[in-house]
Amino acid sequence: MIVAKCDEAKAEESKDEIVGKGPVYRKIVIDDKMSGGFGVVWVSFAPGAKLNFHTHPFEQILYVTEGKGIVATKTEEHIVTPGTVVSIAPGEDHWHGATEDTSFTHIALYRGQTNLSKT
C-alpha cells in the first residue's frame, strides 16, 4: 500500500517539451515506478499556460481541483472547473491547460509514458 499526500510532494517547474506555454508545475504524488504501474501527479498551470498536444498509451483521468481550465482534442474543447472529472482514451491526441485569465490545477492518474504528438 502506498499512502501519499499532495501537500507533502515537492512542486517542480516542468521544462520539458510537453509544455507548450508555461509555467507549469508538477508534483509527483505517486511515482508509477513505485506503484508498479499507476502514477498520480498534481499539475498546476499559471494563467494561459498549457501543454502541447500529446497522447498516453493507456487511459488518463484528470480530476480538476482549482481554477478554470481547458481540455481539448483536435475536434473539441471543454472548459473544466473544480469537481470535473475527464477520462481521456488511450492514444487520444489532446492537450490541457489554464484559460488565459485563471490558473488551473488538476490531479492526473495515468499509466505509461506521455508521448508528444508529431502533428
Q: How far is CA 54 from CA 9, 19, 73, 91, in A?
A: 25, 10, 10, 9
Question: In angstroms, rounded to a whole number, what is the distance separating the alpha carbons of residues 103 and 31?
Answer: 25
For residue 19, what pLDDT band results from cuts at 50, 70 and 90? very high
Q: What is the pLDDT of residues 72-118, one digit of tens each?
A: 999 999 999 999 999 999 999 999 999 999 999 999 999 878 888 87
Q: How far is CA 119 from CA 30, 42, 74, 92, in A?
A: 30, 26, 10, 13
Nearest alpha-carbon partner for 19 in 41, 44, 37, 36? 44
pTM of the predicted structure, to 2 decimals: 0.92
Distance of CA 102 to the CA centre of its chain: 16
Domain ranges of the chain: 11-112
For 11-112, give the CATH class: mainly beta
